[in-house]
């Protein structure tokens, strides 16, 4: 592709993307008839032997790729969690691809590192996070990770290093380390612990209360029991907004225990943390003054397209102790002076692209007001939805709904709720996901009604709810 063809094709693609997003409501959320292999079967089994025009690619996007997508930007996408994008952030991603620089260390592209550091500090201000996370604080700093999974793993590794006084780098012995979380924590906690050599036998599931939040008293009890057994508590993950039901672990009480016990506290605010952009939701930050690390994802509820997880720590020395490796070909004067940040030592991979651009573009071109308005409206609609659900005696609400997720089920029981989710999704016009919450000692199938897409308005929520009502009337 020549530069001129790039210009022409690029303009066409920009227009195509605008049309995709503007017209997304006319598409189904997904095609429920699609079976594994259906997309591939429409594509050539072998690589092309002749060059094709860009128009052929665009045509296949329309005819094969888009019909094979689950459209996460769709206003009727109520599944999983939001993965919002925005026009400005899309242009930031395009710029990163166009520049094609590597940000693994300061010297490999100083602007890539410095814009990123600045964005973390800007976001510390906008979210009103503790100043101890700032890069210009004595011991803290922040970095963009690809995902909360990676942020959590990085936190575990820093904790592992600190608790063992660095010995783990040499002996790899993790066999006495114990971590604490709850059944409601994200799957990435178990996955990260497993990767870090903390098998599930040493992952404690602390009791939860009837809001699905960690019971601090049980955490304290379990830590004491493990110490008594000669084990070494090293890591607690408190969720501020669980994936399953938006439960909020009591991070202040947990943080006080962690301080006393000298255990690393990581707070996972992947989904809900950006709510702190809105002053009345700053309570989501409670406990961060006591946390050793924290993450939240602008690629979920803020419109900075994936991947953009913000990770802060108040103990960068432990993070660097855990992850720094310095071969000859990566040494530089800037590093040796101690003045520069080399982000490769803050993350699992070595390479990294210029991800800060999408945040920078969005904060400059859109500001935070549209996001604040969106978050407020999503929260308002969730409360509105809860009123509608409450008024329908066939349904019940299964968990607190402080933000943008409502967990509901049919009073008729689990089979009915499962059938309802299945029936709703089989229309392809909406998408919900199911979770299971233990209520009164019994597992309850729950429909997660997650209201988080940028384009979702009240009429979409209402239509989704009316669909559920009509399906419930039919069969459940």
From the CA atom positions of the chain, what is the Rg in Å? 24
| Residue 115 in contact with a copy of itself, rule: CB under 8 A | yes
Q: Helices 356-365 & 110-127, crossing angle to 10 degrees?
A: 50
* CA–CA distance, 454 with 362 (Å, rounded to integer): 14
What Cα–Cα distance (Å) separates residue 344 from each residue in 103, 124, 195, 334?
Answer: 8, 21, 19, 14
Q: Does residue 408 touch a copy of itself according to CB under 8 A?
A: no
**10, 28, 400, 428: which one contacts a copy of itself (CB under 8 A)?**
10
Which residue, among 27, 76, 32, has the nearest Cα to 428 in the 3D structure?
Answer: 32
Tell me the C-alpha distance between 113 and 93, whole Å.
16
Name the CA dihedral angle for 461, 467, 469, 474, rounded to a multiple of 10 degrees: -170
> Can residue 196 be called a binding residue for a copy of itself (CB under 8 A)?
yes
Q: Which residue number, 175 or 470, has a Cβ lying nearer to a copy of itself?
A: 175
- Choose between 64 and 252: whose C-beta lies nearer to a copy of itself: 64
Q: How far is the CB of 456 from a copy of itself (least distance, A)?
A: 14
- CB neighbour burial string for 191-219, b if at least 16 within 10 angstroms, e if fewer: ebbeebbbeeebbbbbebeebbbbbbebb
Q: Does 76 bind a copy of itself (CB under 8 A)?
A: no
CA dihedral sign, ordered 188, 194, 195, 196: positive
Range in contact with a copy of itself (rule: CB under 8 A) among 256-264, 335-343, 381-389, 408-416 = 335-343
Map the footprint of a copy of itself across residues 78-97, applying CB under 8 A.
Answer: 80, 83-91, 93-97
Binding span for a copy of itself by CB under 8 A among 214-222, 232-240, 356-364, 372-380: 356-364
**Number of residues in contact with a copy of itself, rule: CB under 8 A?**
155
- H-run or E-run covering 373: helix 369-390
Q: Is 320 in the site for a copy of itself (CB under 8 A)?
A: no
For residue 226, state whether it binds a copy of itself (rule: CB under 8 A): no
Where is 435: in which H helix or E strand? strand 433-439
**Interface stretch with a copy of itself, choices 288-296, 341-349, 383-391, 459-467 (CB under 8 A):** 341-349
Q: How far is the CB of 77 from a copy of itself (least distance, A)?
A: 10
Residues in region 24-43 near a copy of itself by CB under 8 A: 34-40, 43
- Residue 330 engages a copy of itself in binding (rule: CB under 8 A): yes
Query: Any contact of residue 150 with a copy of itself (CB under 8 A)?
Result: yes
Using rule CB under 8 A, residue 18 touches a copy of itself: yes
By the rule CB under 8 A, 435 interacts with a copy of itself: yes
At residue 442, the 3 state secondary structure works out as strand
Residue 423: closest CA among 398, 397, 452, 415: 415
The verdict on 276 binding a copy of itself (CB under 8 A) reads no
Question: For residue 358, what is the enclosing H or E element?
Answer: helix 356-365
Interacting residue with a copy of itself among 122, 384, 386, 429 (CB under 8 A):
122
* DSSP string covering 199-218: -GGGEEE--B-TTS-B-HHH
Least separation in angstroms between residue 396's CB and a copy of itself is 18
349 interacts with a copy of itself by CB under 8 A: yes
State in angstroms the smallest separation of the CB of 47 from a copy of itself. 4
Q: Which is nearer to a copy of itself, 89 or 291 (CB)?
A: 89
Q: Pick the binder of a copy of itself from 129, 143, 144, 157 (CB under 8 A).
A: 157
Residue whose CB is less far from a copy of itself, 40 or 227: 40
Q: Is 231 a binder of a copy of itself (CB under 8 A)?
A: no
**What is the C-alpha to C-alpha distance for residues 429 and 334, in angstroms, rounded to an integer?**
54
Q: Verify binding: residue 292, a copy of itself, rule CB under 8 A.
A: no
Q: Give the number of other CB atoms < 10 A from CB of residue 128.
A: 13
Minimum gap (Å) between residue 314 Cβ and a copy of itself: 21
């Amino acid at each position: 592709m020549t530069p001129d063809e790039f210009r022409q094709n690029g303009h066409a693609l920009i227009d195509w993307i605008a049309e995709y997003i503007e017209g997304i409501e006319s598409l189904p959320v997904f095609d429920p008839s699609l079976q594994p292999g259906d997309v591939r079967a429409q594509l050539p089994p072998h690589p092309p032997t002749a060059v094709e025009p860009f128009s052929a690619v665009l045509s296949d996007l329309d005819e094969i790729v888009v019909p094979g997508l689950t459209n996460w930007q769709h206003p009727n996408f109520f599944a999983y969690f939001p993965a919002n994008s925005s026009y400005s952030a899309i242009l930031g991603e395009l710029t990163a691809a166009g520049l094609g620089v590597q940000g693994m260390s300061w010297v490999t592209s100083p602007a890539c590192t410095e814009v990123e550091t600045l964005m973390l500090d800007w976001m510390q201000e906008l979210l009103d996070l503790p100043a101890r996370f700032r890069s210009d604080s004595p011991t803290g700093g922040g970095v963009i990770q690809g995902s909360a999974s990676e942020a959590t793993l990085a936190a575990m590794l820093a904790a592992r290093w600190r608790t063992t006084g660095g010995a783990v780098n040499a002996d790899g012995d993790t066999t006495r380390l114990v971590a604490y979380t709850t059944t409601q924590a994200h799957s990435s906690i178990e996955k990260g612990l497993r990767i870090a050599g903390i098998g599930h036998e040493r992952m404690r599931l602390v009791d939860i209360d009837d809001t699905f939040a960690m019971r601090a008293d049980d955490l304290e009890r379990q830590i004491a029991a493990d110490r008594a057994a000669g084990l070494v508590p090293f890591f607690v993950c408190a969720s501020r907004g669980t994936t399953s039901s938006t439960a909020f672990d009591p991070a202040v009480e947990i943080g006080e225990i962690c301080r006393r016990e000298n255990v690393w506290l990581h707070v996972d605010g992947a989904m809900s943390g950006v709510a702190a952009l809105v002053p009345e939701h700053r309570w989501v930050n409670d406990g961060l003054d006591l946390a050793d690390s924290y993450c939240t994802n602008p690629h979920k509820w803020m419109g900075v397209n994936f991947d953009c997880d913000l990770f802060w720590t108040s103990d960068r020395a432990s993070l660097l102790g855990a992850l720094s490796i310095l071969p000859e070909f990566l040494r530089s004067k800037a590093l040796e002076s101690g003045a520069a940040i080399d982000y490769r030592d803050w993350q699992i991979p070595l390479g990294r692209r210029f991800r800060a651009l999408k945040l920078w573009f969005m904060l400059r071109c859109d500001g935070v007001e549209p996001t604040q308005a969106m978050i407020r409206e999503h929260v308002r609609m969730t409360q509105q939805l809860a009123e509608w659900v409450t008024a329908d005696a066939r349904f019940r609400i299964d968990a607190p709904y402080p933000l943008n997720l409502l967990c509901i089920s049919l009073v008729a029981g689990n089979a009915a709720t499962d059938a309802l989710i299945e029936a709703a999704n089989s229309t392809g016009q909406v998408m919900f996901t199911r979770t299971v919450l233990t209520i009164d000692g019994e597992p309850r199938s729950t429909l997660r009604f997650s209201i988080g897409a940028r384009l979702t308005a009240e009429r979409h929520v209402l239509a989704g709810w009316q669909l559920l009502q009509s399906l419930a009337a039919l069969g459940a």
